A = this chain, B = another copy of it.
């Protein structure tokens, strides 16, 4: 029933536009009563994003169950993959919804509140993992924001392409930037993490950190 309503709603939004579609139109199309709609969705906006709530629940469960000996940033990057798979599971719907959301400011605001909830979920997990670290909560919030920004950059590139190509590759590329800066695996993300191994880096004092990291990466590739 929930899916039938969401599908009817979305069809109508695409045919008539979001603003001109009423809940009455939606229930007529779905062949159910008005009360059924509000049993599943608090508002018309919610029917546009029927999966975010369950996706957030899945993500929270994933983070709660994650092994605390794992690199915290890697765990969060993996959790971000849950969102990506929700979009990638239905490219046509995701692309159409992306276009619809661009046109309706209210939907953008609504989507933004979910983005913020994902970010807070990541930050909450990282804050717990870094509870004893200096500025742990600050770092947790900055990393969570960086993960969300990178994820959305990769996702948007894929949505803008009309859902062509590999969504996962697009997002992985974007998240790589965060992994290289913040991940425990170090700049190369290389497997060799014996504590005895060292990297010796020589760089101009004034070089920006990302250029320094690029240099370290290319040095490691030459190994």
Contact = CB atoms under 8 A, between A and B. Distances in A.
Interface residues of A, number: 55
A174 B138 contact: yes
| Best-buried of A150, A188, A197, A210 by chain B (most CB within 10 Å) | A210
A112 interface: yes
Given A193-B206, A205-B193, A135 B199 contact: no
Looking at chain A's contact residues, is the secondary structure mostly helix, strand, loop, or mixed? helix
Interface string A180-197: 111111111010111111
A113 interface: yes
A209 interface: yes
A198 B205 CA distance: 5
Interface of A: 73, 109, 112-113, 116, 135, 137-139, 141-142, 144-146, 148-150, 152-154, 174, 177-178, 180-188, 190, 192-210, 212-213, 220
